[in-house]
Amino acid sequence: MTVLWTAQDAAVATNGRISGDWDGVTGLSIDTRELVPGDMFVALEGITHDGHVYVRQALDAGAGAALVSHVPDGCEGANLLVVDDTLTALQALGVAGRARAAAKVIGVTGSVGKTSTKEMLRSILAPQGRTHAATRSFNNHWGVPLTLARMPADTEFAVIEIGMNHAGEITPLSQMSRPDVALITTVEAVHLEAFDSVEGIADAKAEIFAGLVPGGAAILNADNPHFERLSTAAQAAKAKITSFGRASDDFHLKDVQTSGQATTISADIRGNATLIKLGTPGAHFALNALGALAAAEAAGADIGRAALDLGSWSPPDGRGSHVRLALPDGEILLLDESYNANPASVGAALAVLAASEPGRGPHRPGRRVAFLGDMLELGPTEIALHEGLAGLDAIDRIDKIHACGSRMKALHDALPVDKRGVFCADSVQLADAVEKVVDAGDVCMVKGSLGAAMRHVVSALRALGTPLSDSHTSEREDA
């Protein structure tokens, strides 16, 4: 395999000391469960665990070396790179990885749609050049430098997802990434417990312009109420602004049609009529698709080819993937939205469920069934925001809503009686009830914040049958 970091280059980048006899490593890992032989294991020190405990295990599993701040017991003379602090060293590797690559870097942030848009960009850029993007949602203080440090030197396009929970978090990640293109998908009422207003969230998202290279591009959602605020911040960074959305004159969204298996987007891109087809339903994916195309164009990709290649994209697991499951007496369709949740994304997921077409069971028509867990980090208005979901138009077309969590109890109580399903204290209890409330022909959508652990409900639904189709993207990293 190709060497990612020579021992000498890694030592220079981190100001570290080489121990043992190793020439280089072919990858980086922070988790022994995902380590590939030849990787450098990075022993990060967290609040609840210390990666140094697993160094010997990583070396025994084939790690080419380990990045450590001290020599763990049993590792004397082993292949190590010893540094003052492993997180600081990982960040230094990220900076060096960005500096040595001539890639066009696209930074993606936003309240909703970051990961889906990142994966769209991966799909449309990979056919046009060596493309690197993070696995999963590696978008925080260790995820961004890890992604940058994993970037091969010959990368042509890189897509870096950048997230935040508090003000000030995006600035250092943007300065580390130095994006040529900065895309903000949208600004919504999320992480409100850390902000006084949604305007504060918009300002935090605008921090992505802090590291924008001179003459870089800003891609902004013209339909978002905070477009002008974001535009002002982009102009202050001397960015070239391109907009997308129904209110945009650049990447103008004209119409969206959804069916059981697809989304058809009619757009006007700089005066050219364009038809885009996604192989998954969801009107909310339309704006993400146009934002991705605008970012790809700004990075130098062929826009016509990119629009065609969007047809091969499908949502990542937990973010809208579709799985058909065969039961003894029919089948069910699972819409897996379990990775995260906020009012905007829950509304979008419920709209997809409402537009779905259930099948036919052995005894009755199938139903549209939702399993909802708590939306977290919404601050003092969290109960009202949960209760407010009952007023969404999509609710009218949904047959049953099963819920769990102390916050989602507000929605359960606000629903019409005929739509109230099972209510449980947590997702484990709700998972136990799945077999009793689902029948052949049903379409089942699962949604909740990561902390609500709705993966238990997804696992219970998957256990009901055998997958007939599985629409999701791989978690392996392209480079």
For every residue of 139-201, DSSP letters joined together read: -STTHHHHHHHT--TT-SEEEEE---SSTTSHHHHHHHH--SEEEE----S-SGGG-SSHHHH
Distance CA 143, CA 478 (A): 16
Percent of the chain's residues with pLDDT above 90: 78
Distance CA(252)–CA(440), nearest Å, equals: 41
Nearest CA among 468, 260, 420, 245 for reference residue 352 = 260
- pLDDT given for residue 46 in this prediction: 80
Identify the CA nearest to 30 among candidates 114, 87, 75, 70. 87
- The closest alpha carbon to 193, from 382, 327, 333, 15, belongs to 382
Amino acid present at 186: T
Partners of 327 in the β-ladder: 330
Which residue's structure tokens are 């993207």?
473
Handedness of CA 89, 90, 91, 96 (dihedral sign): positive
Q: What is the pLDDT of residues 308-347, one digit of tens each?
A: 999 888 887 777 788 889 998 899 999 998 888 889 889 9
- pLDDT tens, residue by residue, 264-290: 999 999 999 999 999 888 888 899 999
Element housing 253 (H / E):
strand 251-258
CB 294 within 8 A of CB 250: yes
- Give the C-alpha separation, 56 to 402, whole Å: 46
In angstroms, the CA 16 to CA 84 distance is 8
Q: What's the pTM value of the predicted model, to 2 decimals? A: 0.83
pLDDT band for position 476 (50/70/90)?
Answer: very low
Half-sphere exposure of 119 (CA within 13 A, CB side): 24
Beta bridge partners of 420: 401
List pLDDT tens digits, range 105-120: 999 999 888 888 999 9
Helix (H, G, I), strand (E, B) or coil at 269: strand
pLDDT at 44: 95
Q: Taking a C-beta distance cutoff of 8 angstroms, is the pair 126, 296 a contact?
A: no
Please check whether residue 24 is in contact with residue 40, taking contact to mean a CB–CB distance below 8 angstroms.
no
407-411, Cβ contacts within 8 angstroms, sequence gap of 24 or more:
407/374, 407/375, 407/376, 407/378, 407/382, 407/383, 408/372, 408/373, 408/374, 408/375, 408/448, 410/383, 410/384, 410/386, 411/372, 411/386, 411/387
355 pLDDT exceeds 90? no
Structure tokens at 48: 């609840």
pLDDT digits (tens, 9 = 90+) for 359-418: 888 888 999 999 999 999 888 899 999 999 999 999 999 999 999 999 999 999 999 999
Best CA proximity match to 327, nearest among 231, 165, 453, 467: 467
What is the radius of gyration, based on Cα positions, of the chain? 23
CB-CB contact of 229 with 206 (8 Å): yes
Evaluate whether 444 touches 369 at the Cβ level (below 8 Å). yes
If 0-12 CB within 10 Å is exposed, 13-18 middle and 19+ buried, where does residue 329 land? exposed
Q: What is the pLDDT of residues 193-236, one digit of tens each?
A: 778 889 999 999 999 999 999 999 999 999 999 999 999 999 99
Question: HSE (CB half, 13 Å, CA atoms) of 70?
Answer: 6
Do 178 and 98 touch, CB atoms closer than 8 A? Answer: yes
